A and B are shown apart, each in its own frame.
Chain A
Amino acid sequence: MYKLGAVFAGILVAAMIFFNGTLTGYFGNSTTLVIIHTIGLITISLYLILKREKILINNKIPFYLFLGGAIGVILVSFNNICFMNIGVSLTIALGLFGQTVMSLIIDSFGLLGLKKHKFDVKKLIGLSLIFIGTIIMSIN
């Protein structure tokens, strides 16, 4: 049941890229970014109000942790631009390849304060399969 939940989350990610990309087609990139973040902010605020969560945000938290949203803006605009030019499935496939490479790099060097995991050479096989699959997808 929960596994279906994970698949459902993936379905929603693809739908989101499609919705955001469509919006970019109408409004251009920077206006779309403002719309997306305004609606997201309203949604999460309503959620927090309904849950009556006590706000724990304070100035003792390291500043760089507040910057995730800034990175988010860049990645959403890249996704939007790519959606309009290469479609949803290829944008996702290339993105997954990037995600896999980046998580392997972070894990093997223990970057961003995470625990170090030794790089398993066998993973290069999976990585090459993902790369080959992505190339095949990009052939018209």
Chain B
Amino acid sequence: MLFRNMLRNLMKNKVQFFSIFIMSFLGLFVFVGMDSEVAGYTAAEDAFYSKYDLADIWVTGKEFTSNDVTKIQNIKGIENAERRASVKGKAVLEKGEADIYLNFIESNDISRIGVVEGDEYESGEGGVWLDYIFAEKNGIKVGDVVKLKYEGKVFTEILRGKIRHPEYVYYLQDTAAMMPAYGTYGMAFLDSSEIPSEKIFFNEVICDATDIDNVNALSSEEKAVKKLLEGRIYDALDTDTLAVLGKDDQMSYQTFRAEMEQHKGMSFMFPLVFMIISVLGIITTMTRMTKKQRVEIGTLKALGFSKGRITLHYISYGFFLSLLGSVLGAAAGYKAIVKLTLDMMSQTYLIPGGGGKLTTSGIFMITASVIVSTLVSFLACRAQLEPPPAETLKPEAPKAMKQTWLEKSKLWLSLNFETQWNLRDIIRNKVRTGMGVVGVAGCTMLMLTAFGCLDSIEFITDWMYGELNTASYQIIMKEGTPYAEAYEYARKYKGQMMEIEAADFEVGDLRKSGNVTVIEKGNFMHFEGDHFEHQKLTETGIAMSAKMADSLGIKMGDFVRWHLNGDDKWQKDRIVQIYANPGTQGITMYRDEYERHEYNFRPLTILTNIDARADLEDDDLVTGVQDTKAMMASMDKMKEMMYLMMAIFISGAVILGVVVLYNQGVLSFVEKSREMSTLKVLGFSTAKIRWILQLQNLWVTAVGVAAGIPLGKLLLHGIMSDMPESMDYREVVYMPSYFYAVAGTVILSVTVSFMLSRRVKNINMVEALKGIE
């Protein structure tokens, strides 16, 4: 019978209880949704990397002989090694040329090709195996003839298969690009016998290590193993002109991992907000209900119900609501979020599978949510359940009212009636008010984050291509172009020369991969400090990007050791300047400084404002001409993903705001209905009473909004800084976004408050006053 009683009470107080339900629902919706998405993708990633045996170590250098490969194979701890030539070429299509990463291989035992359609690769066989998205988007079918171009030589191959590859889960067109746009460029694998040049330079050796796991991120033991093997490789080949990289240095691997970590982070952040609201909701609702049902509790006790049985009855509200909310939320999140993210993710990450996978943490969170809610219900009811029935049968003695310091002050007397009324109400109902503030703050936070995400992406695009690099075009020279030739192109197109080299940076035991950027004096590359202040690149010394300095834990004035990949020298320099750059992390210096380090300036990029695309189409020395506008367009894709995230955030904000404010309003209305009817009896107009109610809501909104803005910026910072190490994305919120977030919250709050205060009209003075016994 008490169960029926509970059901009817739930119906009677549906708004409050629904808010508890919906918060549990939303919390678990996001958590289980994202958690299963991450788990599903991690499983898919593990399966993909295991199936195709992702390499553990990449050795890059100028040229590796078969003897070198044997030497590496013989190293203790190396299971297998194979070499390949990885170069950049072109696919010649009807509509023009497209960049292609060409990989000429001898065998296919490590980082194996995953054939989606077509034949398996056999060593020594002709033909090309092409990125399946590239093939599909360009209408190339298995068996078709594909025209490829390398070092100016065009050669044809038959498409043997459409493929995926464990090293190409995420890849960009070049270092200047910030987002993938698969289909406009691609990757291909061919047998080494197919290379059109007379001489082939195998510039990469990939290795399988015995003690490095294929799937998981490197553990500290594995990092030690990698370091040990790195030393052994250097010793075996007796040269320093190479770089030894691990999975953590691989963009494809690392970017996907960082994305997963970001999702994981978000999966915790949201439920926390909803859980806090839910707990506050339970506290207020259950306290109010048990207070109201005090005599009922006394009656049940007098009738012979045990304290345990009554306690069980009251905690079952929190228990059933959170159980129902959590389980349904988990189920809905598992279905909806997994589907939503799957669509989004599959455009960015070329990993087969994905989809949801329930984990024990999902079940743990459901359990935790239920336990917390039940416990909070218990704590909220305890006060009414403790005293003996003789006491509980009597209405509660009014709470002893004490004047607060504010009420004793002179200031108090100068306040008008509605201010005094509302201040007193807030002081005496701190939890209820707190719930309102938290709800409003959460609402503003989510809205600000939503708009801020879009602002930040726009800002980064403008920052990167509008402020830091103002060239409209980039001419990319062929690998090995002599300086004199590059200089001629720069002169002809009024360009600024730039060299970008992959490099390692070391501080103590910490080593990070990045780039060394060397520039000639010119007008296209600009620099800004960590706080976007314009600065001139130092002419004497090296400047380091803020994110790299941060990753290495150093600051201006500290030393860093650095080393170009494929070079035998290690340099040690003091950082004399810190600059910020969203896309490339490492160090930057002028050509003179570079040459002082005894390097030859070999610029392969020329920044220019002259459109030389037509001119240079068939130029043998030019790999391609990139259009900045096209690169900016690739950022639009990121914006599309952001729209989805914004929609989720804003929906969350609206639900949170409406539910919390409505709940808070109903609670305060019910608690104050007696006072309000008294005011009505005394002759206060309905409008005046409504204004009193709305005023408090405005205060709560103001405080909530004020708290929500910094919280929103914090959340945005969290999202933006959870990017791969190569990206330095900054959170930016433009003035209109502040306005939208604040206005959105205020409109929501005022609407809810207006709707609620309409109830004042319907207060029945006689009925409300009759309730007093």
A and B co-occur in one complex: no
Interfacial residues, chain B to chain A (CB-CB below 8 A): none
